[in-house]
Amino acid sequence: MKVLVPIKRVIDANVKVRVKADNTGVETANVKMAMNPFCEIAVEEAVRLKEAGTASEVIVVSAGAAQAQETLRTGLAMGADRGILIQCDSDPEPLAVAKLLKAVVEKEGPELVILGKQAVDNDNNQTGQMLAALLGWPQGTFISKVEKTDGSFAITREVDGGLEKLEIKAPAVVTTDLRLNEPRYASLPNIMKAKKKPIDTMTPADLGVDVSPRLTVVSVTEPPARKAGVKVASVAELVDKLRNEAKVI
Amino acid sequence: MSTLIVAEHDNAELKPATLNAVTAAGQLPGETHVLIAGSGCGAAAEAAAKVAGVDKVLKADDAAYDHHLAENLAPLVAKLAADYSHVIAAATTSGKNVMPRAAALLDVQQVSDISAIEGEDTFVRPIYAGNALATVKSSDAVKVLTIRATAFDAAPAEGGSAAVEAVESTGDTGLAAFKGQELTKSERPELTTAGIVISGGRGMQSGENFAMLERVADKLGAAVGASRAAVDAGYVPNDYQVGQTGKVVAPDLYVAVGISGAIQHLAGMKDSKVIVAINKDEEAPIFQVADYGLVADLFEAVPELEKELG
């Protein structure tokens, strides 16, 4: 089976983001970018399925600026076979991304699409569910396990109360949670090899998709900062402060 | 126009976050209706009818809606949405699973995890793990929203007397089947609604050591949580995780034990009223958000804390 893995280029999760002075967004100039951590887990899972002989081909796809090509190269270095860049002027909203991905799915015919459950920039947690809706496919969100069975996938989901097991029919969309796997680091030889792997470039117009935004960003501001607290010297002092100053116990 | 809340429940009772969604709906124009979709969900529908601020309850009782499979529930939500200006759910794992699927069926760009309502089309939401707040305006005809439960007070569970109206099922798509669940059993309060939370991190060193936190939790009537590092290490199950991609909590008191304070963890707890940090590393970033910091070895401090609490 073919596996499609949509991935996103985001500000590196270890970078502390700064809000722009004009409140139009966050500072992205000269900021380290990386593959969204949940997308790394998605690529890893697809590559493991290929290594296990379950998947025949792993295709990574990204919708975004031309630089998203670097993120695709990272996916190729991790073991994906080829990449697709859907070049956009700015990052499309999740609904638009889902429409673009639907068009790619219709061209490529994967049996499984694996996405990260959310991107750590906008924290939307929508694209996988929206893609599944548009395709009329089942969805396995926030998964910690996926196994191919005859004509379906057995999945385990991380939910608020614990774990939930579902059987979803193939073809399907799944989204990764943190415990699905631990993504590998690409080795130097694989990074070199990835440079020779093909990346197809297309535009939303090529796919016949309107990506006009539905939301207008009115402003982006800093959240209220917490006031610096005090250090206490002992457990007894801590309990006293909690009882008599903060009055929370 | 009115607001439809997609309620979370277990057929017998409402999940607490639904009450926070009722408060959010009260800030929007028109009536507040609650959808109870489930299997044998009469009791949950009756509970919803009693919530103060609810004007009508829609009950969709069908085996297809058991366990709230998104494949079956989203088409129902999308169908009912035609009569509403806003469709909202709490941003729980259930709401996060179902709502984007319904939004896509409606050709609507959902607004996720909102922390404030500025107007009927303008909402505030945290982005970048809460390091920025975005105010966005939606141009879609129907607004599909998930709400951050900790940002809205819970509506009183009693005081309402809404009518319950049965709605027709949209049926079983047959795309997905429930196969079982492993729910964490606990006598302690639920993490997202507890007044006091005590969380452990990598510094706990093992799952067994969490018993120390549990003893303190039981003295305080607190819930027990964890950082991602502690969950990844297998010390505690996934549903303990507090953070950007886990649970968001805002208790009166949050006690972070052996947690360094990565931004992803702070995202899930920094709206707590009082934060206490116990960590042996005085440079740990958790101290920058803590009201009371104790630089100490947790293996000495936690048993002492248990003793002090009597």
The pLDDT confidence band at residue A215, using thresholds 50, 70 and 90, is very high
The type of residue at A144 is: S
Q: What is the C-alpha radius of gyration for chain A, rounded to an integer number of angstroms?
A: 21
Query: Which residues are paired to B14 by β-bridges?
Result: B9
Of the candidates A175, A217, A213, A205, which has an alpha carbon nearest to the alpha carbon of residue A95? Answer: A213
pLDDT of residue B310: 85
- With beta carbons under 8 A apart, name residues in chain A contacting B131: 16-17, 19, 26, 223
Query: What three-state secondary structure class fits B222?
Result: coil
The contacts of residue B247 (CB under 8 Å, 6+ apart) are A160, B191, B192, B225, B239, B241, B268
List, for residues A154-183, the tens digit of each pLDDT value: 999 999 999 999 999 999 999 999 999 999
Q: Dump strand ranges (E) for A102-138.
A: 112-116
How many Cβ atoms sit within 10 Å of the Cβ of residue B211?
Answer: 10
Q: How far apart are CA A236 and CA B310, in angstroms?
A: 12
**B146 neighbors B113 (Cβ within 8 angstroms):** yes
Place of tokens 């196994």: A147
- With beta carbons under 8 A apart, name residues in chain B contacting A141: 70, 93, 96-97
Inter-chain touch A229–B290, beta carbons under 8 Å = yes
How near does any CA of chain B get to the CA of A98, in Å?
Answer: 9
Q: Which of B128, B282, B291 to mutate: most A Cβ within 10 Å?
A: B128
**A168 neighbors A122 (Cβ within 8 angstroms):** no
A228 contact B CB<8A: yes
How near does any CA of chain A get to the CA of B40, in Å?
Answer: 20
Rounded to 10°, the helix B210-220/B298-308 angle is 20
Inter-chain touch B228–A17, beta carbons under 8 Å = no
CB-defined contacts A:B, below 8 A: 260
Task: Say which DSSP state A209 is in.
Answer: -
In degrees, rounded to 5, the angle at the alpha carbon of residue B113 between the alpha carbons of residues B110 and B117 is 85
- Strands B86-90, B56-61: parallel, antiparallel or unpaired by DSSP? unpaired
- With beta carbons under 8 A apart, name residues in chain B contacting A163: 181-183, 237-238
Q: Which of A166, A179, A216 sits opposite B232 (nearest CB)?
A: A179
pLDDT of residue B243: 96
List, for residues A1-12, the tens digit of each pLDDT value: 999 999 999 999
- With beta carbons under 8 A apart, name residues in chain B contacting A222: 132-133
Inter-chain touch B110–A124, beta carbons under 8 Å = yes
In degrees, rounded to 5, the angle at the alpha carbon of residue B111 between the alpha carbons of residues B171 and A174 is 55
Rounded to 10°, the helix B298-308/A235-244 angle is 50
Instruction: Name the maximum alpha-carbon separation found in chain B.
Output: 60
Q: How far apart are CA A208 and CA A86, in angstroms?
A: 12
Q: How far apart are CA B69 and CA B184, in angstroms?
A: 20
Of the candidates B280, B278, B219, which has an alpha carbon nearest to the alpha carbon of residue B254? Answer: B278
pLDDT of residue B22: 98
pLDDT of residue B1: 87
pLDDT of residue A226: 86
Task: ipTM value, please give it.
Answer: 0.97
- CA torsion sign for B84, B85, B91, B93 is positive
Query: Does the pTM exceed 0.80?
Result: yes
pLDDT of residue A27: 96
The type of residue at B131 is: N
- With beta carbons under 8 A apart, name residues in chain A contacting B231: 178-179
How many Cβ atoms sit within 10 Å of the Cβ of residue A220?
Answer: 20
The type of residue at B57 is: V
> To which H or E segment does residue A10 belong?
strand A9-11
- CA distances to A4, A212, B144 from A208, rounded to whole Å, are 20, 12, 25
How near does any CA of chain A get to the CA of B297, in Å?
Answer: 11
**B149 neighbors B118 (Cβ within 8 angstroms):** no
**B74 neighbors B144 (Cβ within 8 angstroms):** no
pLDDT of residue A112: 98
Note down pLDDT in tens along chain B; length 310 residues. 899 999 999 999 999 999 999 999 999 999 999 999 999 999 999 999 999 999 999 999 999 999 999 999 999 999 999 999 999 999 999 999 999 999 999 999 999 999 999 999 999 999 999 999 999 999 999 999 999 999 999 999 999 999 999 999 999 999 999 999 999 888 999 999 999 999 999 999 999 999 999 999 999 999 999 999 999 999 999 999 999 999 999 999 999 999 999 999 999 999 999 999 999 999 999 999 999 999 999 999 999 999 999 8
- With beta carbons under 8 A apart, name residues in chain B contacting A236: 308
How many Cβ atoms sit within 10 Å of the Cβ of residue B232?
Answer: 15
Q: How far apart are CA A59 and CA B4, in angstroms?
A: 39
Place of tokens 């998930």: B146
Average model confidence (pLDDT) for chain A?
Answer: 97
Beta sheet of B132-138, edge-to-edge order: A215-221, B132-138, B122-127, B116-119
How near does any CA of chain A get to the CA of B199, in Å?
Answer: 16
pLDDT of residue A38: 98
pLDDT of residue B27: 98
Burial bucket for residue A126 (CB in 10 Å: 0-12, 13-18, 19+): buried
Domain regions of chain A by residue span: 2-244
The pLDDT confidence band at residue A225, using thresholds 50, 70 and 90, is confident
CATH code for the part of the protein at A2-244: 3.40.50.620
**B77 neighbors B35 (Cβ within 8 angstroms):** yes
- CA distances to A71, A182, B30, B37, B295 from A31, rounded to whole Å, are 15, 25, 45, 46, 33
Q: Which of A22, A155, A215 to mutate: most B Cβ within 10 Å?
A: A215
Q: How far apart are CA B103 and CA A238, in angstroms?
A: 48
Q: Dump strand ranges (E) for A31-149.
A: 33-35, 57-64, 82-87, 112-116, 139-149
- With beta carbons under 8 A apart, name residues in chain B contacting A121: 127-128
Inter-chain touch A178–B107, beta carbons under 8 Å = no
**B160 neighbors B50 (Cβ within 8 angstroms):** yes
In degrees, rounded to 5, the angle at the alpha carbon of residue B230 between the alpha carbons of residues B228 and B234 is 110
List, for residues A74-105, the tens digit of each pLDDT value: 999 999 999 999 999 989 999 999 999 999 99
Inter-chain touch A95–B107, beta carbons under 8 Å = yes
List, for residues A51-64, the tens digit of each pLDDT value: 999 999 999 999 99
Q: What is the separation of C-alpha B227 from the centre of its chain, rounded to a whole number of angstroms? A: 17
pLDDT above 80 for A228: no
